[in-house]
Structure 1
Amino acid sequence: MSNAAPFDEDSCPWDLTEEANLVQHVTEEAGRIALSYFVRGDIHQWDKSPDNPVSEADMAVDEFLRTTLMQNRPGYGWLSEETEDQPERLRCGRLWIVDPIDGTRDFLAGGENWGISVALVQDQKPVIAAFYAPVKNAFYFAQRGKGATLNGKPIAVSCNATLDEARMMGDPEAFKHTSPFWPVPWPEGMHTEQANSIALRICQIADGQFDCCVTLRPKNDWDVAAADLILEEAGGLLTTGDQDRLLFNRKKPLHAHIIASCPNLIPSIMDRVTPALEKWRNRNK
Protein backbone atom coordinates (compact mmCIF):
# COMPACT_ATOMS: atom_id res chain seq x y z
CA MET A 1 0.00 0.00 0.00
CA SER A 2 0.99 3.63 -0.47
CA ASN A 3 2.01 5.79 2.48
CA ALA A 4 0.62 8.90 0.77
CA ALA A 5 -1.91 11.09 2.53
CA PRO A 6 -5.19 11.53 0.61
CA PHE A 7 -4.82 14.15 -2.11
CA ASP A 8 -6.21 17.55 -1.12
CA GLU A 9 -7.86 18.89 -4.26
CA ASP A 10 -8.85 22.15 -2.57
CA SER A 11 -5.20 23.12 -2.09
CA CYS A 12 -4.12 22.09 -5.60
CA PRO A 13 -3.83 24.96 -8.12
CA TRP A 14 -4.64 22.66 -11.08
CA ASP A 15 -8.04 21.11 -11.68
CA LEU A 16 -8.59 18.02 -13.80
CA THR A 17 -9.51 20.04 -16.89
CA GLU A 18 -6.08 21.67 -16.78
CA GLU A 19 -4.47 18.29 -16.17
CA ALA A 20 -6.33 16.84 -19.16
CA ASN A 21 -5.11 19.61 -21.46
CA LEU A 22 -1.53 19.12 -20.28
CA VAL A 23 -1.62 15.34 -20.75
CA GLN A 24 -3.06 15.57 -24.27
CA HIS A 25 -0.51 18.15 -25.40
CA VAL A 26 2.49 16.40 -23.87
CA THR A 27 1.50 12.92 -25.11
CA GLU A 28 1.02 14.20 -28.65
CA GLU A 29 4.45 15.83 -28.60
CA ALA A 30 6.02 12.66 -27.15
CA GLY A 31 4.49 10.75 -30.04
CA ARG A 32 6.06 13.12 -32.55
CA ILE A 33 9.47 12.61 -30.91
CA ALA A 34 9.12 8.83 -31.00
CA LEU A 35 7.91 8.94 -34.61
CA SER A 36 10.94 10.99 -35.68
CA TYR A 37 13.23 8.17 -34.49
CA PHE A 38 10.95 5.53 -36.02
CA VAL A 39 11.04 7.18 -39.46
CA ARG A 40 14.78 7.80 -39.29
CA GLY A 41 15.62 4.17 -38.53
CA ASP A 42 19.08 2.91 -37.52
CA ILE A 43 18.20 3.42 -33.85
CA HIS A 44 20.79 2.63 -31.21
CA GLN A 45 19.46 -0.14 -28.96
CA TRP A 46 20.61 -2.44 -26.20
CA ASP A 47 19.19 -4.96 -23.72
CA LYS A 48 18.37 -3.81 -20.19
CA SER A 49 18.12 -7.48 -19.31
CA PRO A 50 17.97 -10.64 -21.46
CA ASP A 51 15.33 -10.24 -24.20
CA ASN A 52 14.27 -6.83 -22.81
CA PRO A 53 15.28 -4.21 -25.39
CA VAL A 54 15.46 -0.45 -24.94
CA SER A 55 16.60 2.25 -27.35
CA GLU A 56 17.74 5.83 -27.59
CA ALA A 57 14.18 6.68 -28.63
CA ASP A 58 12.78 5.31 -25.34
CA MET A 59 15.25 7.42 -23.41
CA ALA A 60 14.59 10.59 -25.42
CA VAL A 61 10.82 10.31 -24.94
CA ASP A 62 11.28 9.56 -21.25
CA GLU A 63 13.48 12.63 -20.80
CA PHE A 64 10.94 14.84 -22.56
CA LEU A 65 8.01 13.54 -20.55
CA ARG A 66 9.81 13.74 -17.22
CA THR A 67 11.19 17.22 -17.79
CA THR A 68 7.95 18.69 -19.15
CA LEU A 69 5.51 17.09 -16.73
CA MET A 70 7.59 17.61 -13.60
CA GLN A 71 8.40 21.23 -14.47
CA ASN A 72 4.73 21.95 -15.02
CA ARG A 73 3.62 20.07 -11.90
CA PRO A 74 6.26 20.43 -9.18
CA GLY A 75 5.59 18.23 -6.20
CA TYR A 76 3.94 15.44 -8.13
CA GLY A 77 5.48 11.97 -8.05
CA TRP A 78 7.07 10.15 -10.98
CA LEU A 79 7.18 6.51 -12.06
CA SER A 80 8.47 5.41 -15.47
CA GLU A 81 9.82 2.24 -17.02
CA GLU A 82 12.98 4.07 -18.07
CA THR A 83 13.70 6.06 -14.88
CA GLU A 84 15.18 4.69 -11.67
CA ASP A 85 12.39 4.31 -9.14
CA GLN A 86 12.44 6.73 -6.20
CA PRO A 87 10.65 5.93 -2.92
CA GLU A 88 9.54 9.56 -2.58
CA ARG A 89 6.70 8.82 -5.00
CA LEU A 90 4.95 6.79 -2.29
CA ARG A 91 4.28 9.98 -0.35
CA CYS A 92 2.69 11.77 -3.29
CA GLY A 93 -1.09 12.06 -3.61
CA ARG A 94 -0.71 12.65 -7.34
CA LEU A 95 1.94 11.19 -9.60
CA TRP A 96 2.71 10.58 -13.24
CA ILE A 97 3.01 6.98 -14.43
CA VAL A 98 4.42 6.69 -17.94
CA ASP A 99 5.77 4.20 -20.43
CA PRO A 100 7.75 6.23 -22.97
CA ILE A 101 7.35 3.55 -25.64
CA ASP A 102 5.12 0.61 -24.80
CA GLY A 103 5.91 -2.08 -27.36
CA THR A 104 9.60 -1.27 -27.87
CA ARG A 105 10.22 -4.59 -29.63
CA ASP A 106 7.60 -3.82 -32.26
CA PHE A 107 8.88 -0.23 -32.54
CA LEU A 108 12.38 -1.45 -33.29
CA ALA A 109 11.07 -3.98 -35.82
CA GLY A 110 9.30 -1.25 -37.78
CA GLY A 111 5.81 -2.31 -36.72
CA GLU A 112 2.78 -0.21 -35.81
CA ASN A 113 1.73 -1.79 -32.51
CA TRP A 114 3.47 0.54 -30.07
CA GLY A 115 2.67 3.81 -28.36
CA ILE A 116 3.20 6.32 -25.58
CA SER A 117 1.34 5.76 -22.31
CA VAL A 118 0.75 8.60 -19.83
CA ALA A 119 -1.43 8.47 -16.71
CA LEU A 120 -2.04 10.87 -13.85
CA VAL A 121 -2.77 8.84 -10.74
CA GLN A 122 -4.51 10.30 -7.70
CA ASP A 123 -4.93 8.32 -4.49
CA GLN A 124 -3.77 5.14 -6.26
CA LYS A 125 -6.30 5.38 -9.12
CA PRO A 126 -5.80 6.94 -12.57
CA VAL A 127 -7.83 10.10 -13.16
CA ILE A 128 -6.39 11.22 -16.52
CA ALA A 129 -5.02 8.85 -19.17
CA ALA A 130 -3.68 8.94 -22.70
CA PHE A 131 -2.28 6.31 -25.03
CA TYR A 132 -0.99 7.43 -28.42
CA ALA A 133 -0.04 5.02 -31.21
CA PRO A 134 1.38 7.40 -33.85
CA VAL A 135 1.80 4.94 -36.74
CA LYS A 136 -1.81 3.79 -36.32
CA ASN A 137 -2.95 7.41 -35.91
CA ALA A 138 -4.79 6.35 -32.76
CA PHE A 139 -4.99 8.72 -29.78
CA TYR A 140 -6.92 7.27 -26.84
CA PHE A 141 -7.89 9.55 -23.98
CA ALA A 142 -9.96 9.37 -20.81
CA GLN A 143 -10.82 11.54 -17.81
CA ARG A 144 -12.46 9.91 -14.82
CA GLY A 145 -16.22 10.30 -15.01
CA LYS A 146 -16.20 11.78 -18.53
CA GLY A 147 -15.89 8.75 -20.80
CA ALA A 148 -13.18 7.62 -23.19
CA THR A 149 -12.40 8.73 -26.72
CA LEU A 150 -10.40 7.66 -29.77
CA ASN A 151 -9.24 10.63 -31.84
CA GLY A 152 -11.83 12.75 -30.06
CA LYS A 153 -14.80 10.46 -30.67
CA PRO A 154 -16.51 8.50 -27.84
CA ILE A 155 -15.76 4.78 -27.65
CA ALA A 156 -17.37 1.83 -25.87
CA VAL A 157 -16.62 -1.84 -25.33
CA SER A 158 -18.47 -4.53 -27.25
CA CYS A 159 -21.62 -6.26 -26.04
CA ASN A 160 -20.35 -9.74 -26.94
CA ALA A 161 -21.57 -12.33 -24.45
CA THR A 162 -20.08 -15.57 -25.78
CA LEU A 163 -16.46 -16.70 -25.94
CA ASP A 164 -17.17 -18.79 -29.05
CA GLU A 165 -17.49 -15.55 -30.99
CA ALA A 166 -14.98 -13.54 -28.96
CA ARG A 167 -11.94 -11.70 -30.28
CA MET A 168 -9.14 -12.35 -27.79
CA MET A 169 -6.10 -10.07 -27.85
CA GLY A 170 -3.25 -12.40 -26.90
CA ASP A 171 -0.73 -14.98 -28.08
CA PRO A 172 -2.62 -17.53 -30.24
CA GLU A 173 -0.34 -20.34 -29.02
CA ALA A 174 -1.32 -19.66 -25.41
CA PHE A 175 -5.04 -20.09 -26.04
CA LYS A 176 -5.09 -23.22 -28.17
CA HIS A 177 -7.99 -25.53 -27.39
CA THR A 178 -5.49 -28.32 -26.73
CA SER A 179 -3.18 -26.36 -24.41
CA PRO A 180 -2.51 -28.35 -21.21
CA PHE A 181 -2.15 -25.14 -19.19
CA TRP A 182 -5.93 -24.57 -19.08
CA PRO A 183 -7.95 -27.18 -17.14
CA VAL A 184 -11.03 -25.68 -18.83
CA PRO A 185 -10.13 -25.14 -22.50
CA TRP A 186 -10.88 -22.05 -24.54
CA PRO A 187 -13.36 -22.45 -27.43
CA GLU A 188 -11.86 -23.62 -30.71
CA GLY A 189 -13.70 -20.89 -32.60
CA MET A 190 -12.38 -18.01 -30.51
CA HIS A 191 -10.36 -15.59 -32.65
CA THR A 192 -6.96 -14.72 -31.15
CA GLU A 193 -4.21 -12.38 -32.28
CA GLN A 194 -1.25 -10.66 -30.66
CA ALA A 195 0.14 -7.14 -30.22
CA ASN A 196 3.43 -6.36 -28.47
CA SER A 197 1.98 -3.44 -26.47
CA ILE A 198 -0.25 -4.51 -23.57
CA ALA A 199 -1.66 -0.98 -23.31
CA LEU A 200 -2.67 -1.07 -26.98
CA ARG A 201 -4.33 -4.45 -26.50
CA ILE A 202 -6.45 -3.04 -23.68
CA CYS A 203 -7.29 0.12 -25.62
CA GLN A 204 -8.48 -1.98 -28.55
CA ILE A 205 -10.89 -3.67 -26.17
CA ALA A 206 -12.05 -0.23 -25.04
CA ASP A 207 -12.94 0.76 -28.62
CA GLY A 208 -14.64 -2.56 -29.40
CA GLN A 209 -12.09 -3.92 -31.90
CA PHE A 210 -11.50 -6.82 -29.51
CA ASP A 211 -13.47 -8.27 -26.63
CA CYS A 212 -10.93 -9.45 -24.07
CA CYS A 213 -7.30 -9.90 -23.08
CA VAL A 214 -5.84 -12.39 -20.61
CA THR A 215 -2.21 -12.46 -19.57
CA LEU A 216 -0.96 -14.39 -16.57
CA ARG A 217 2.48 -12.79 -16.83
CA PRO A 218 3.22 -9.93 -14.38
CA LYS A 219 2.73 -6.36 -15.61
CA ASN A 220 4.06 -3.15 -14.13
CA ASP A 221 2.16 0.02 -13.27
CA TRP A 222 3.49 1.77 -16.36
CA ASP A 223 2.21 -1.01 -18.61
CA VAL A 224 -1.43 -0.62 -17.63
CA ALA A 225 -2.15 2.56 -15.63
CA ALA A 226 -3.38 4.62 -18.59
CA ALA A 227 -5.17 1.71 -20.26
CA ASP A 228 -6.96 0.90 -16.99
CA LEU A 229 -8.85 4.21 -16.99
CA ILE A 230 -9.45 4.21 -20.76
CA LEU A 231 -11.06 0.76 -20.52
CA GLU A 232 -13.09 1.62 -17.43
CA GLU A 233 -14.44 4.82 -18.96
CA ALA A 234 -15.39 2.85 -22.10
CA GLY A 235 -17.48 0.48 -19.98
CA GLY A 236 -14.97 -2.34 -19.59
CA LEU A 237 -13.16 -3.88 -16.64
CA LEU A 238 -9.50 -4.46 -15.81
CA THR A 239 -8.64 -6.74 -12.88
CA THR A 240 -6.08 -9.25 -11.70
CA GLY A 241 -6.72 -12.94 -12.30
CA ASP A 242 -8.23 -13.00 -8.81
CA GLN A 243 -10.71 -10.28 -9.87
CA ASP A 244 -9.11 -7.60 -7.69
CA ARG A 245 -9.16 -4.06 -9.06
CA LEU A 246 -5.73 -2.60 -9.67
CA LEU A 247 -4.15 -0.11 -7.26
CA PHE A 248 -1.20 1.99 -8.37
CA ASN A 249 1.73 3.69 -6.63
CA ARG A 250 2.43 0.82 -4.26
CA LYS A 251 5.89 -0.03 -2.99
CA LYS A 252 6.20 -2.79 -5.59
CA PRO A 253 4.45 -1.48 -8.72
CA LEU A 254 3.67 -4.91 -10.13
CA HIS A 255 0.47 -6.81 -10.91
CA ALA A 256 0.68 -10.60 -11.03
CA HIS A 257 -1.77 -11.05 -13.90
CA ILE A 258 -4.19 -9.01 -16.01
CA ILE A 259 -7.75 -9.66 -17.17
CA ALA A 260 -9.30 -7.01 -19.44
CA SER A 261 -12.74 -7.50 -20.92
CA CYS A 262 -16.17 -6.25 -21.79
CA PRO A 263 -18.40 -7.09 -18.79
CA ASN A 264 -20.48 -9.83 -20.43
CA LEU A 265 -17.49 -12.13 -20.91
CA ILE A 266 -16.06 -11.93 -17.39
CA PRO A 267 -17.87 -15.03 -16.00
CA SER A 268 -16.77 -17.25 -18.91
CA ILE A 269 -13.20 -15.95 -18.72
CA MET A 270 -12.98 -16.59 -14.99
CA ASP A 271 -14.31 -20.13 -15.51
CA ARG A 272 -10.98 -20.74 -17.24
CA VAL A 273 -8.61 -18.42 -15.39
CA THR A 274 -9.52 -19.51 -11.84
CA PRO A 275 -8.71 -23.24 -12.27
CA ALA A 276 -5.59 -22.38 -14.28
CA LEU A 277 -4.27 -20.20 -11.46
CA GLU A 278 -5.11 -22.89 -8.89
CA LYS A 279 -3.22 -25.46 -10.97
CA TRP A 280 -0.24 -23.09 -11.29
CA ARG A 281 -0.13 -22.28 -7.58
CA ASN A 282 -0.37 -25.95 -6.58
CA ARG A 283 2.31 -27.17 -9.01
CA ASN A 284 5.04 -27.49 -6.36
CA LYS A 285 2.92 -28.56 -3.41
Structure 2
Amino acid sequence: MYLPALPFDDNSCPWSLEDDIRLVRQVTEEAGRIALSYFARDCRAWDKSPDNPVSEADLAVDEFLRTTLMSNRTGYGWLSEETEDQPERLRCGRLWIVDPIDGTRAFLRGGDDWGVSVALIQDERPVIAALYAPAKDAFYFAEAGKGATKNGKPIMVNETRHVTEARMMGEPCAFKSEKLWPTPWPDSMYVEQANSIALRLCQIADGQFDACVTLRPKNDWDMAAADLILREAGGTVMTGRGNSLIYNREKPLHDHIVAACPTLIPEIMERVEPAIKAWCHLAA
Protein backbone atom coordinates (compact mmCIF):
# COMPACT_ATOMS: atom_id res chain seq x y z
CA MET A 1 0.00 0.00 0.00
CA TYR A 2 1.30 3.44 -0.96
CA LEU A 3 1.37 6.05 1.80
CA PRO A 4 1.44 9.84 1.39
CA ALA A 5 4.81 11.55 1.18
CA LEU A 6 6.25 13.24 4.25
CA PRO A 7 7.68 16.77 3.95
CA PHE A 8 11.45 17.05 4.21
CA ASP A 9 12.81 18.16 7.58
CA ASP A 10 16.12 20.04 7.22
CA ASN A 11 16.80 19.86 10.95
CA SER A 12 16.80 16.07 11.01
CA CYS A 13 19.10 15.60 8.01
CA PRO A 14 22.88 15.41 8.63
CA TRP A 15 23.69 16.35 5.01
CA SER A 16 23.33 19.79 3.46
CA LEU A 17 22.59 20.42 -0.20
CA GLU A 18 26.25 21.41 -0.59
CA ASP A 19 27.20 17.92 0.58
CA ASP A 20 24.79 16.40 -1.91
CA ILE A 21 26.08 18.60 -4.74
CA ARG A 22 29.60 17.27 -4.27
CA LEU A 23 28.30 13.70 -4.16
CA VAL A 24 26.16 14.11 -7.30
CA ARG A 25 29.02 15.57 -9.33
CA GLN A 26 31.41 12.82 -8.26
CA VAL A 27 29.13 9.83 -8.83
CA THR A 28 27.68 11.09 -12.13
CA GLU A 29 31.16 11.55 -13.60
CA GLU A 30 32.21 8.09 -12.45
CA ALA A 31 28.97 6.56 -13.77
CA GLY A 32 29.73 8.11 -17.16
CA ARG A 33 33.16 6.53 -17.15
CA ILE A 34 31.63 3.14 -16.37
CA ALA A 35 29.17 3.53 -19.23
CA LEU A 36 31.99 4.49 -21.61
CA SER A 37 33.85 1.29 -20.71
CA TYR A 38 30.98 -0.64 -22.38
CA PHE A 39 30.39 1.83 -25.24
CA ALA A 40 31.12 0.86 -28.87
CA ARG A 41 31.96 -2.67 -27.74
CA ASP A 42 30.19 -6.02 -27.87
CA CYS A 43 27.76 -5.17 -25.08
CA ARG A 44 25.17 -7.79 -24.16
CA ALA A 45 21.60 -6.49 -24.57
CA TRP A 46 18.03 -7.80 -24.56
CA ASP A 47 14.43 -6.53 -24.49
CA LYS A 48 12.95 -6.23 -21.00
CA SER A 49 9.61 -5.62 -22.74
CA PRO A 50 8.68 -5.33 -26.44
CA ASP A 51 10.83 -2.64 -28.13
CA ASN A 52 12.31 -1.63 -24.78
CA PRO A 53 16.01 -2.60 -24.73
CA VAL A 54 18.31 -2.85 -21.75
CA SER A 55 21.98 -3.79 -21.64
CA GLU A 56 24.59 -4.99 -19.21
CA ALA A 57 25.91 -1.43 -19.25
CA ASP A 58 22.57 -0.07 -17.96
CA LEU A 59 22.62 -2.54 -15.10
CA ALA A 60 26.28 -1.91 -14.22
CA VAL A 61 25.76 1.84 -14.07
CA ASP A 62 22.53 1.42 -12.12
CA GLU A 63 24.23 -0.84 -9.57
CA PHE A 64 27.07 1.65 -9.09
CA LEU A 65 24.72 4.61 -8.66
CA ARG A 66 22.36 2.80 -6.30
CA THR A 67 25.11 1.34 -4.13
CA THR A 68 27.10 4.56 -3.92
CA LEU A 69 24.25 7.03 -3.45
CA MET A 70 22.21 4.96 -1.03
CA SER A 71 25.18 3.89 1.11
CA ASN A 72 26.23 7.52 1.46
CA ARG A 73 22.74 8.90 2.17
CA THR A 74 20.82 6.75 4.65
CA GLY A 75 17.14 7.61 4.64
CA TYR A 76 16.97 9.00 1.11
CA GLY A 77 14.58 7.27 -1.31
CA TRP A 78 15.41 5.64 -4.63
CA LEU A 79 13.71 5.49 -8.06
CA SER A 80 15.43 4.21 -11.18
CA GLU A 81 14.41 2.83 -14.55
CA GLU A 82 16.41 -0.33 -13.90
CA THR A 83 15.38 -1.04 -10.29
CA GLU A 84 12.07 -2.45 -9.10
CA ASP A 85 9.95 0.34 -7.66
CA GLN A 86 9.38 0.29 -3.90
CA PRO A 87 6.49 2.11 -2.17
CA GLU A 88 8.77 3.23 0.66
CA ARG A 89 10.12 6.01 -1.58
CA LEU A 90 6.89 7.94 -1.09
CA ARG A 91 7.74 8.37 2.60
CA CYS A 92 11.07 10.02 1.82
CA GLY A 93 11.50 13.79 1.83
CA ARG A 94 14.59 13.44 -0.36
CA LEU A 95 14.76 10.96 -3.20
CA TRP A 96 17.32 10.00 -5.82
CA ILE A 97 15.85 9.64 -9.31
CA VAL A 98 18.25 8.22 -11.88
CA ASP A 99 18.35 6.88 -15.39
CA PRO A 100 21.62 4.96 -15.68
CA ILE A 101 21.65 5.33 -19.47
CA ASP A 102 18.98 7.53 -21.00
CA GLY A 103 19.09 6.69 -24.70
CA THR A 104 19.95 2.99 -24.58
CA ARG A 105 19.07 2.51 -28.26
CA ALA A 106 21.57 5.18 -29.28
CA PHE A 107 24.16 3.71 -26.89
CA LEU A 108 23.80 0.25 -28.42
CA ARG A 109 24.12 1.47 -32.00
CA GLY A 110 27.21 3.54 -31.22
CA GLY A 111 25.52 6.93 -31.37
CA ASP A 112 26.45 9.80 -29.08
CA ASP A 113 22.95 10.95 -28.01
CA TRP A 114 22.78 9.23 -24.62
CA GLY A 115 23.67 10.17 -21.07
CA VAL A 116 23.64 9.37 -17.37
CA SER A 117 20.91 11.24 -15.52
CA VAL A 118 20.93 11.87 -11.75
CA ALA A 119 18.55 14.11 -9.79
CA LEU A 120 17.87 14.74 -6.13
CA ILE A 121 14.20 15.39 -5.39
CA GLN A 122 13.06 17.28 -2.30
CA ASP A 123 9.36 17.62 -1.55
CA GLU A 124 8.39 16.45 -5.07
CA ARG A 125 10.68 18.89 -6.94
CA PRO A 126 14.23 18.48 -8.27
CA VAL A 127 16.80 20.53 -6.34
CA ILE A 128 20.06 19.12 -7.77
CA ALA A 129 20.52 17.69 -11.25
CA ALA A 130 23.30 16.29 -13.42
CA LEU A 131 23.24 14.92 -16.96
CA TYR A 132 26.53 13.56 -18.27
CA ALA A 133 26.79 12.72 -21.96
CA PRO A 134 30.37 11.40 -22.10
CA ALA A 135 30.34 10.59 -25.83
CA LYS A 136 29.63 14.30 -26.41
CA ASP A 137 31.97 15.46 -23.65
CA ALA A 138 29.06 17.36 -22.10
CA PHE A 139 28.41 17.58 -18.36
CA TYR A 140 25.25 19.53 -17.49
CA PHE A 141 24.57 20.57 -13.91
CA ALA A 142 22.01 22.64 -12.03
CA GLU A 143 21.05 23.57 -8.48
CA ALA A 144 17.63 25.06 -7.78
CA GLY A 145 17.87 28.85 -7.80
CA LYS A 146 21.55 28.88 -8.83
CA GLY A 147 21.41 28.55 -12.63
CA ALA A 148 22.67 25.82 -14.96
CA THR A 149 26.07 25.03 -16.44
CA LYS A 150 27.63 22.91 -19.16
CA ASN A 151 31.20 21.82 -18.46
CA GLY A 152 31.32 24.46 -15.74
CA LYS A 153 30.18 27.39 -17.89
CA PRO A 154 26.77 29.09 -17.50
CA ILE A 155 24.16 28.29 -20.14
CA MET A 156 20.96 30.03 -21.23
CA VAL A 157 18.11 29.24 -23.62
CA ASN A 158 17.58 31.08 -26.89
CA GLU A 159 15.01 33.81 -27.44
CA THR A 160 13.53 32.37 -30.65
CA ARG A 161 10.08 33.93 -31.04
CA HIS A 162 8.33 31.99 -33.81
CA VAL A 163 8.02 28.27 -34.54
CA THR A 164 8.76 29.01 -38.20
CA GLU A 165 12.35 29.71 -37.07
CA ALA A 166 12.54 27.08 -34.34
CA ARG A 167 14.87 24.12 -34.04
CA MET A 168 12.71 21.33 -32.63
CA MET A 169 13.88 18.09 -31.05
CA GLY A 170 11.60 15.16 -31.85
CA GLU A 171 10.53 12.71 -34.54
CA PRO A 172 10.40 14.59 -37.88
CA CYS A 173 7.63 12.46 -39.39
CA ALA A 174 5.43 12.87 -36.30
CA PHE A 175 5.26 16.65 -36.70
CA LYS A 176 3.85 16.22 -40.21
CA SER A 177 0.97 13.96 -39.14
CA GLU A 178 -2.46 15.53 -39.65
CA LYS A 179 -3.92 12.88 -37.33
CA LEU A 180 -1.67 13.99 -34.48
CA TRP A 181 -1.79 17.72 -35.07
CA PRO A 182 -5.14 19.37 -35.99
CA THR A 183 -3.23 22.68 -36.14
CA PRO A 184 -0.23 21.95 -38.37
CA TRP A 185 3.38 22.84 -37.70
CA PRO A 186 5.11 25.08 -40.31
CA ASP A 187 7.12 23.34 -43.01
CA SER A 188 10.02 25.70 -42.31
CA MET A 189 10.46 24.40 -38.74
CA TYR A 190 13.64 22.32 -38.44
CA VAL A 191 13.18 19.01 -36.62
CA GLU A 192 15.92 16.63 -35.51
CA GLN A 193 15.52 13.32 -33.72
CA ALA A 194 17.48 12.27 -30.63
CA ASN A 195 16.92 9.13 -28.61
CA SER A 196 17.50 10.65 -25.17
CA ILE A 197 14.69 12.93 -23.96
CA ALA A 198 16.93 14.22 -21.16
CA LEU A 199 19.67 15.18 -23.60
CA ARG A 200 17.09 16.90 -25.82
CA LEU A 201 16.09 19.17 -22.96
CA CYS A 202 19.70 19.91 -22.08
CA GLN A 203 20.42 20.89 -25.67
CA ILE A 204 17.57 23.38 -25.42
CA ALA A 205 19.14 24.64 -22.20
CA ASP A 206 22.45 25.38 -23.90
CA GLY A 207 20.87 26.94 -27.00
CA GLN A 208 21.57 24.21 -29.55
CA PHE A 209 17.81 23.75 -30.00
CA ASP A 210 14.69 25.69 -29.09
CA ALA A 211 11.94 23.22 -28.17
CA CYS A 212 10.87 19.64 -27.58
CA VAL A 213 7.28 18.39 -27.70
CA THR A 214 6.17 14.84 -27.13
CA LEU A 215 2.69 13.43 -26.66
CA ARG A 216 4.17 10.13 -25.45
CA PRO A 217 4.23 9.58 -21.67
CA LYS A 218 7.58 10.02 -19.91
CA ASN A 219 8.68 8.66 -16.57
CA ASP A 220 10.21 10.52 -13.64
CA TRP A 221 13.65 9.17 -14.48
CA ASP A 222 13.39 10.51 -18.03
CA MET A 223 12.59 14.02 -16.86
CA ALA A 224 13.81 14.86 -13.36
CA ALA A 225 17.39 16.00 -14.01
CA ALA A 226 16.77 17.65 -17.38
CA ASP A 227 13.69 19.45 -16.03
CA LEU A 228 15.75 21.36 -13.46
CA ILE A 229 18.65 21.99 -15.85
CA LEU A 230 16.38 23.51 -18.50
CA ARG A 231 14.37 25.63 -16.05
CA GLU A 232 17.56 26.94 -14.43
CA ALA A 233 18.76 27.92 -17.92
CA GLY A 234 15.63 30.05 -18.34
CA GLY A 235 13.48 27.49 -20.15
CA THR A 236 9.96 26.22 -19.57
CA VAL A 237 9.08 22.59 -18.81
CA MET A 238 5.45 21.54 -18.36
CA THR A 239 2.83 19.00 -19.30
CA GLY A 240 0.73 19.41 -22.42
CA ARG A 241 -1.98 20.87 -20.20
CA GLY A 242 0.30 23.58 -18.89
CA ASN A 243 1.07 22.09 -15.46
CA SER A 244 4.43 21.84 -13.74
CA LEU A 245 5.91 18.37 -13.37
CA ILE A 246 5.50 16.80 -9.91
CA TYR A 247 7.84 13.97 -8.89
CA ASN A 248 7.75 11.03 -6.51
CA ARG A 249 4.05 10.33 -6.92
CA GLU A 250 2.50 6.86 -6.72
CA LYS A 251 2.56 6.62 -10.52
CA PRO A 252 5.80 8.33 -11.63
CA LEU A 253 4.55 9.15 -15.13
CA HIS A 254 3.88 12.37 -17.07
CA ASP A 255 1.36 12.18 -19.90
CA HIS A 256 2.80 14.83 -22.25
CA ILE A 257 5.86 17.05 -22.27
CA VAL A 258 6.37 20.57 -23.61
CA ALA A 259 9.85 22.03 -23.14
CA ALA A 260 11.02 25.21 -24.82
CA CYS A 261 12.38 28.70 -24.51
CA PRO A 262 9.51 30.76 -23.05
CA THR A 263 9.15 32.93 -26.15
CA LEU A 264 7.87 29.92 -28.12
CA ILE A 265 5.35 28.59 -25.60
CA PRO A 266 2.26 30.47 -26.90
CA GLU A 267 2.67 29.20 -30.49
CA ILE A 268 3.52 25.69 -29.30
CA MET A 269 0.46 25.47 -27.06
CA GLU A 270 -1.75 26.63 -29.95
CA ARG A 271 -0.89 23.27 -31.50
CA VAL A 272 -0.54 21.07 -28.43
CA GLU A 273 -3.89 21.89 -26.79
CA PRO A 274 -6.09 20.86 -29.77
CA ALA A 275 -3.87 17.80 -30.31
CA ILE A 276 -4.48 16.59 -26.75
CA LYS A 277 -8.23 17.19 -27.10
CA ALA A 278 -8.23 15.14 -30.29
CA TRP A 279 -6.32 12.31 -28.58
CA CYS A 280 -8.76 12.29 -25.66
CA HIS A 281 -11.69 12.16 -28.05
CA LEU A 282 -10.23 9.16 -29.88
CA ALA A 283 -9.52 7.37 -26.60
CA ALA A 284 -13.03 7.92 -25.23
TM-score range, shorter chain: over 0.9
Task: State the Cα deviation string for residues 233-272 of structure 1 (Å, max 9, x = none).
Answer: 0000110000110000000000001100100100000000
Letter in 1 for 2:152: G
Task: Give me the whole-angstrom Cα distance separating, in 2, the residues matched to 1:89 and 1:81.
Answer: 14
Runs of 4+ in 1 over 3 A off after TM superposition: none
- Map residues 101-250 of structure 1 onto 2, 5 A cutoff: 101-176=101-176, 179-250=178-249
Q: Is the 8 A contact 1:2 1:250 kept in 2?
A: no
Task: State the Cα deviation string for residues 125-172 of structure 1 (Å, max 9, x = none).
Answer: 000000000000000000001000000000001001111000000110
Task: Give me the whole-angstrom Cα distance separating, in 2, the residues matched to 1:154 and 1:109.
Answer: 31
Letter in 1 for 2:35: A
Give the CA deviation at 1:284: 4.8
Q: Secondary structure at the match of 1:231?
A: helix
Residue segments in structure 2 that go unaligned for 5+ positions in a row = none
- Percentage identity across aligned positions? 70
Q: 1:45 to 1:247 in 2, by over 3 A?
A: same
Specify the alignment match of 1:59 in structure 2: 59
Task: State the Cα deviation string for residues 62-105 of structure 1 (Å, max 9, x = none).
Answer: 00000000000011000000000000000000010000000000
Specify the alignment match of 1:45 in structure 2: 45
TM-score, length basis structure 2: 0.98
Q: 1:192 to 1:2 in 2, by over 3 A?
A: farther
Q: Is the 8 A contact 2:6 2:90 kept in 1?
A: no
Specify the alignment match of 1:77 in structure 2: 77
Specify the alignment match of 1:278 in structure 2: 277
Letter in 2 for 1:164: T
- Map residues 15-54 of structure 1 onto 2, 5 A cutoff: 15-39=16-40, 41-54=41-54
Task: Give me the whole-angstrom Cα distance separating, in 2, the residues matched to 1:237 and 1:33.
Answer: 32
Task: Give me the whole-angstrom Cα distance separating, in 2, the residues matched to 1:29 and 1:262.
Answer: 31
Q: Secondary structure at the match of 1:36?
A: helix
Q: Is the 8 A contact 1:163 1:268 kept in 2?
A: yes
Residue segments in structure 1 that go unaligned for 5+ positions in a row = none
User: What is the total number of aligned residue pairs between the two structures?
Assistant: 283
Matched, 1:4 2:14: no
Letter in 2 for 1:87: P
Letter in 1 for 2:42: D
Specify the alignment match of 2:267 in structure 1: 268
Letter in 1 for 2:117: S
Give the CA deviation at 1:15: 1.0
Specify the alignment match of 2:96 in structure 1: 96
Q: Which moved more, 1:148-157 or 1:1-10?
A: 1-10
Give the CA deviation at 1:34: 0.2
Q: Secondary structure at the match of 1:214?
A: strand
Letter in 2 for 1:61: V
Give the CA deviation at 1:221: 0.2
Q: Is the 8 A contact 2:47 2:53 kept in 1?
A: yes
Letter in 2 for 1:118: V
Task: Give me the whole-angstrom Cα distance separating, in 1, the residues matched to 2:277 and 2:3.
Answer: 28
Give the CA deviation at 1:204: 0.4
Give the CA deviation at 1:5: 1.6
Q: What is the RMSD of the two structures over their aligned residues, measured on CA atoms?
A: 1.1
Letter in 2 for 1:18: D
Task: Give me the whole-angstrom Cα distance separating, in 1, the residues matched to 2:68 and 2:107.
Answer: 23
Task: Give me the whole-angstrom Cα distance separating, in 2, the residues matched to 1:2 and 1:270.
Answer: 35
Task: Give me the whole-angstrom Cα distance separating, in 1, the residues matched to 2:256 and 2:283.
Answer: 19
Specify the alignment match of 1:259 in structure 2: 258
Q: Is the 8 A contact 1:2 1:249 kept in 2?
A: no
